[in-house]
Amino acid sequence: MKYPVLRFVALATLACVACTAPTFLSPLIAAEKAPAYDSREHYTKYEYRIPMRDGVKLFTSVMVPKDASKTYPFLMTRTPYSVAPYGEDEFPEAAAHTDMFLQAGYIWVRQDVRGRTLSEGKFIEMTPHRPDKKTKADVDESSDTYDTVEWLLQHVPNHNGRVGMWGVSYPGFYTSAGIIDTHPAIKAASPQAPVTDFYLNDDWYHGGAFMLAAGFDFFSKFKPQSGPTPPPKVRVPFDYGTQDGYEFFLKLGSVANAAALLGGNNTGWNEGVAHPTYDAYWKARAIWHHLKNIRCAVLTVGGWFDAEDLMGPLRTYHAIEKNNPGIFNALVMGPWVHGGWARQDGRRLGSVDFAADTATYYREKIVLPFFEKHLKDKGEPKLPEAYVFETGTNVWRQYAAWPAPGAKPRTLYFHERGALNFDPPTDAAASDTYVSDPAKPVPFIGYTATGMPQEYMVADQRFAATRPDVLVYVTEPLEESITFAGPVSPRLFVSTTGTDADWVVKLIDVYPPERSTPAAASGAPEGGRSKDVGPPKVTLAGYQQLVRGEPFRGKYRRSFETPEPFAPGKVEAVNFTMPDVNHTFRRGHRIMVQVQSSWFPLVDRNPQTFVNIPTAKPEDFRAATQIIHRAAGRASGVEVMVLAPAAGGR
């Protein structure tokens, strides 16, 4: 989820990249070297209330270079998180990404979107796009962007007639929506971690399962407002009453009980919980269906370990590629958390070191050259269509498309005694069984924390591998390295004694038992949340690094629109697709798959009875026996996209 910030630094206000939990930003910001560039010396700040076609005025902050000897392009971000500090004499503090662009010379535009902070109008979550606008009252984010650009061109002097857009997270959505039916002056846009479909594996729901910890933490901070309202001078964080989110949410009971803790009238939370299926509410807000008539260069950016909007960039890239032939459309995916490419050096996440300052490289070699070329005709970066970081080997790869051309589907099958390999089973009848108890759900991290520590995306899974309600399948040590490049797709045959069940599948890289633990690089590791929590220090010998994990709510096995109960004991196929990976399992490592039926409190508990889960009663929560079948004709496994070794090997 995306979060408003306690201290409105440029990290959030200029870029809205700090849209994650506010209180953990300060130590990460402090870990960066303070930039020497003083924007006050080189820029003059102006504030405007720009009228839209329906008369609503949007508060807009514009920073213009003082050097009037040349013209500059506009670079704009639109945000629901405030463009504070307010006042023409008040300048935001600089941070790595924004400082770089300010030094390069841009007219920097930041706008409070409709209905947020000092802008007029009504705020609507993920504003539905209106493809057929008949009157001035038919407005959406595309029309608000168009009207803003038109006003800027007419009222702000010393521009070169070109506009760029970008934003991270929710502002990434506004970037995507803003380039539909592109204004002629918009020449380049970079949706970064864009919210693309709240239900289909972005912030709210993954595989039909509700993302409880992140959703609650977000809406404890993102409050509804009535009319233009300045941000509070002091933000008081929600008091969980404990450091243990597992304990907090277990005592909370059903998800519906959280509404009162969030103020009762928290519209965003209430609407999200009230729509547990992929109904008209979500479909109207799925912006990827409308990414058409785009007439500018697009660079979509995401992180392989983005705990909030990992699927959004992939879905955005593919939708633009399909619907807008002839434009420059590229994808960048690095080893980053949500927005980490803009605010940190990208060197490490929790216990995992990527051996280079990947975010610094991206800022200097990819995103700045992209905008410089399309907004200033400066340089020729020759960016590939897919610029993706390969974890495991820690190497940037360039491809002509994504998934990487040449990647072939293969299935890792489950076998007896927890074996895992590419050979299909031949047994006439075989299965593995465990008991899933909603009263004792499997935790998603092996330490206590509130909210959603971003580090969980690469966290050590040894704590889960020893539980009796987690099935573990693992290969022999690899004799040669192998690269998975593309989506990860569980193919399960299951049965249950209940009438509903969740199936959580985790793809894991098991380090060799002799693996050393190098000293951590300088600087704070990424991966915290509200209190910058992280894992306890661990040794990397035998480390079970999560590479990809996702839940799937079984009632949606045929359709996210129409849930269906399981018939107890009946064997059924459960097939789903997890977000892509680009990871090499090195020689000597092992590949592991874990299967379980809870992942708490990352995901809300499934009662394992066929009920409306948000309003489930205590008696609805029942233990159930889950069976994974692995016989010929019912061969459970995980389909992966295997890439042939590159020249020089991996």
| Structure confidence by residue, pLDDT tens digits, 596-605 | 999 999 999 9
Instruction: Give all strands (DSSP E) within 66-151, no chain letters.
Output: 72-79, 107-112
The answer to whether 348 and 525 are in contact (CB under 8 A) is yes
Q: Which residue type sits at 575? A: N
pTM over 0.75: yes
The pLDDT of residue 111 is 98
pLDDT at residue 309 greater than cutoff 50: yes
The stretch 177-195 carries a mean pLDDT of 98
Give pLDDT tens digits for 338-386.
Answer: 999 998 899 999 999 999 999 999 999 999 999 999 999 999 999 999 9
Q: What is the mean pLDDT of residues 560-568?
A: 98
- Across the range 37-63, mean pLDDT stands at 96
Rounded mean pLDDT of 392-419? 97
CA distance 28 to 412: 39
Give me the chain's average pLDDT, please. Answer: 91
Give me the pLDDT at residue 518, please: 86
pLDDT at position 31 is 34
Q: Note the pLDDT of residue 34.
A: 46
**H/E segment holding residue 273:** helix 267-273
Condensed to tens digits (0 to 9), the pLDDT of residues 217-240 reads 999 999 888 889 988 888 889 999
Q: What pLDDT digit, counting tens, does each position of 152-179 carry?
A: 999 999 999 999 999 999 999 999 999 9
Report angle CA 105, 110, 114 to the nearest 5 degrees: 160
CA 410, chain centre distance (Å): 27
Lowest mean pLDDT among 15-24, 401-410, 469-478, 498-507: 15-24
Q: Are 25 and 18 in contact (CB under 8 A)?
A: yes
Q: Count CB atoms within 10 A of the CB of residue 337.
A: 28
Q: What percent of the chain has pLDDT over 70?
A: 91
Residue 554: band (very low, low, confident or very high) from pLDDT cuts 50, 70, 90: very high
Taking residues 278-301, report their average pLDDT: 98
- The residue ranking higher by pLDDT, 139 or 20, is 139
What is the torsional sign of CA 441, 446, 452, 455? negative
pLDDT category of residue 14 using cuts at 50, 70 and 90: very low
Q: What gap in Å lies between CA 415 and CA 424, rounded to an integer?
A: 9
**Residue 580 in tokens:** 């892509």
* Residue 2: strand, helix, or coil: coil
Under 8 Å between Cβ of 389 and 358: yes
- Is the pLDDT at 524 greater than 90? The verdict is no
Q: Is the pLDDT of residue 4 over 70?
A: no
Given this model, what pLDDT does residue 227 score?
87
Asked whether residue 15 carries a pLDDT value surpassing 80, the answer given is no
CB-based burial, 51-86: b 16+ in 10 Å, e otherwise: ebbeebbbbbbbbbbeeeeeebbbbbbbbbbbbbbb
pLDDT digits (tens, 9 = 90+) for 58-115: 999 999 999 999 999 999 999 999 999 999 999 987 667 788 999 999 999 999 999 9
Residue ranges and CATH numbers for the domains of the chain are 10-197+285-399 (3.40.50.1820), 408-643 (2.60.120.260)
pLDDT band at 17 (very low <50, low <70, confident <90, very high): very low
CB atoms within 10 A of CB 448: 13
Instruction: Work out whether strand 72-79 and strand 107-112 pair parallel, antiparallel, or are unpaired.
Output: parallel
**Cis ω for the linkage preceding 601 (within 30 of 0):** yes
* Digit-coded pLDDT (tens) for 606-616: 999 999 999 99
* Tokens (6 digits) for 453: 């520590």
Over residues 408-428, mean pLDDT: 97
Confidence of residue 198 (pLDDT cuts 50, 70, 90): very high
How many Å separate Cα 569 from the centre of its chain? 36
Does position 10 have pLDDT exceeding 60, yes or no? no
Determine the Cα–Cα distance for residues 336 and 650; give it in Å rounded to an integer.
21
Mean pLDDT calculated for residue range 485-496: 98
pLDDT at 2 over 50: no
**What span, in angstroms and rounded, lies between the C-alpha atoms of 410 and 435?**
30
